[in-house]
Every structure is written in structure tokens, then in C-alpha cells.
Amino acid sequence: MTFNEAVVNAVRISKAQFEIAYIYEKEDGTFQVGTKYEEGWIFRAYPGGRTDASMRGAQLIQQSTAAGRYEHPAGPNSKGTYYAK
């Protein structure tokens, strides 16, 4: 799963399950989404629409934005917050 797909899935899961959804980067460069907290998360989505990114997550968002591929899944006026952990 790509980073952009993982972000969309994390937002959907957090809203549907009313839990924080986390994204983790796997060794093969793909991404995994889950609701269980573990060290090393790179992006998290809250049920209310707020999002946070670690330094690695913020870097991936910047790369996707620069390439014109990233759009916040909650829309342009979302409560997304991207900051370095």
C-alpha cells in the first residue's frame, strides 16, 4: 500500500471505528494501517478528523505534495496538523 492510500485508509478507519488509526512504514517501503499503538508510527488520524505526522511522515507528505500527489483526505479545510515528533 502506498503512503497516500494508507493516509486515506487511516482517516476512514478512525472515523468508522472511533479510534486513533496509525500508519507504520514496513521494511519493504510499503505502509501498514492499524488501530494498535506501537513505537515508530509515522502518521495518525483521530476520529474527529485531526491528523498528526512524525518527522518521517511529514517528509513523505512534503514529497507527495511537491509531486502533486497528496491531498488531505478530509478535504482542503480539514483540521490536519503536520508537525515533527
**Cα 11 vs. chain centroid, distance in angstroms?**
7
Instruction: Quote the CA–CA distance of 62 and 3 in Å, as a whole number.
Output: 12
Q: Can you give the residue ranges of every domain in the chain?
A: 3-66
Instruction: Quote the CA–CA distance of 66 and 33 in Å, as a whole number.
Output: 24
Q: Which amino acid is at 22?
A: Y
Per-residue pLDDT of the chain (85 residues; tens, 9 = 90+): 889 899 999 999 999 999 999 999 999 999 999 999 999 999 999 998 899 999 999 999 888 777 665 555 555 555 555 444 3
pTM for this one?
A: 0.76
Beta bridge partners of 44: 22, 52
Q: What is the pLDDT of residue 84?
A: 40
